[in-house]
Amino acid sequence: MGIFRLGMKPSRLATLFLAVLLSWVLAGCGGVSSGQSQSGGGGGGGGSQNGPCNVVSTGQGASLNGFRPFPADNAWNQDVSGAPVDPNSDAIINFIGPSIGLHPDFGAGLYVGSSMGIPYSVVGAAQSPVSINFTAYGDESDPGPMPIPANAQIEGYPNPGNGDRHVLVLDNSGCFLYELYSASANNDGSWNAGSAAVWDMENDEQRPWTWTSADAAGLPIFPGLVRYDEVANGKIQHAIRFTLPQSQAAMVPPASHWAATSSNPIAPPMGMNLRLKASYDISGFSANVQVILTALKKYGMIMADNGSAMYLSGAPDDRWDNNDLHNLSQVPASAFEVVQMNPIYTAANVPQGAAPSISSFTASPTSVSSGTQVTLSWQASGASYYVISPQIGAVRGSSVTVTPTQTTTYTLYATNQYGRTQASVTVTVQ
């Protein structure tokens, strides 16, 4: 059983944002050689350098140009407009507070010197992977290295403070998503993080049951953000991340982790999806707000963390109209219904199964002079994704080429929903 994080604190914008709106590494063991290359690219197959992510622009808050992370059948991307209503829906809405309105936890500009929302950046193949040093939940984190730029924006930038300090980075060359919690940059290019996770955006990855991620529910954060580029394009094609202050010790797939703040059995579990009722009239809202509300009718919103009630997550962007976004507060919790939750996992019925099996992990050759290419190869089964540390990071396929500059022990981590298996091989540099 993993360690259940007590969740992140309620948004620091809970009162402040309302007020203002109302008033308005290098990796170790020689680093990454310039000759490094990868064949294939984590577990589960799929494309790599020429995959669907190549349409995504690079840069801070860059447009995805229509790309949608994860397959169509992923929980973030599923049309739930016709899904059954949970039998406890009314009771859960009453527990939340039927008169509590939606609140956009994102917007334009700064408040008290900090941005509003969770920023993200997109990098390409030129971004080198760097080491991640864990300060809290390393045993439930992906080890890295990860291609996190030294200047990646931390949630709350330019003054992140003591909040959740998320860092989100998409790699449009490998099509992986990297997310850090409680992050801070080091002078040598490496990053510190309370926890971190890598997500294969071409596959339906499942983190190990009871493991956290950069979010309390063990979910990816980025696919649930409201982004300006998609709203301006007239369509959000995914569920939206949201928070509530009270949750029980339970989770609904795809969540893999809980962070209970309530012992009430009617309190929401992590991963719960709230759907805006089809009958709710949205015609009186602006075009941009209608885009958000239409997505809430089709895809719903997924509870991903403990925080302020009915807070929707989004990316900061100076093009947002904060006054217009604030009109979301007119939509009460009573306008929502809970999508049927089945199964609901608790400590009594957490799924059990076999972790991945690694039958071989080899290097050819095993002894080289500095600057000589070495092929790492592996045979494994049952893995959702792979990470090789140091120097490499997330990979797909069954082999990768490295160019070590000093004697290096490489470790292959194979992970699925039941756990992680690892194997190591040493390459001697003479």
Confidence label for 58 from pLDDT (cuts 50, 70 and 90): very high
Q: Cα separations (Å) of 118 from 19, 84, 169, 354?
A: 20, 31, 11, 35
pTM: 0.89
Q: What is the mean pLDDT of residues 153-179?
A: 96
Q: Are strands 301-306 and 195-200 parallel, antiparallel or unpaired?
A: unpaired
Query: What is the structure's pLDDT at 1?
Result: 32
Q: Tell me the per-residue pLDDT of 95-143, one tens digit each, with 9 for 90 and over.
A: 999 999 999 999 999 989 999 999 999 999 999 999 999 999 999 999 9
Q: How far is CA 405 from the centre of its chain?
A: 33
Residues 79-89: tens digit of each pLDDT: 999 999 999 99
Instruction: For residue 319, give Cα distances in angstroms to 58, 189, 239, 352.
Output: 18, 31, 22, 47
- Cβ-Cβ contacts under 8 Å for 342 (sequence gap 6 or more): none
Q: What is the DSSP letter of 134?
A: E
Residue 205, pLDDT score: 87
Residue 48 predicted with pLDDT over 60:
no
Residue for token pair 């948004």: 11
Residue 21 has a pLDDT of 35
User: Is residue 104 within 8 Å of 317, Cβ to Cβ?
Assistant: no
Q: Given this model, what pLDDT does residue 13 score?
A: 38
Model confidence band, residue 144 (pLDDT cutoffs 50, 70, 90): very high
Mean pLDDT: which of 11-15, 21-25, 347-351 is highest?
A: 347-351
- Contact by Cβ (8 Å): 392, 37: no
Contact present, 19 and 316 (Cβ < 8 Å): no
Range 19-47 average pLDDT: 34
Tokens of 349: 């019925």
Residues 6+ apart with CB under 8 A from 102: 310, 312, 328, 329, 331
pLDDT, position 206 = 84
Distance from C-alpha of 316 to C-alpha of 319, rounded to nearest angstrom: 9
Does position 47 have pLDDT exceeding 60, yes or no? no
pLDDT, residue 51, reads 56
pLDDT for residue 364: 98
Taking all residues of the chain, what is their mean pLDDT, rounded to a whole number?
Answer: 90
Using one digit for the tens of pLDDT, what is the confidence trace for 209-220? 999 999 999 999
What's the confidence (pLDDT) of residue 52?
83
Closest CA to 43 of 384, 427, 412: 384
Q: What one-character-per-residue DSSP string does 269-315 give? A: PBT-EEEE-TT---TTS-HHHHHHHHHHHHT-EEEEEE-STTEEEB-
pLDDT digits (tens, 9 = 90+) for 299-313: 999 999 999 999 999
Residue 375: pLDDT band (50, 70, 90) is very high
In tens, the pLDDT along 185-243 reads: 999 999 999 999 999 999 998 899 999 999 999 999 999 999 999 999 999 999 999 99
Instruction: Give tens-digit pLDDT for 364-374.
Output: 999 999 999 99
Place of tokens 């993080």: 193
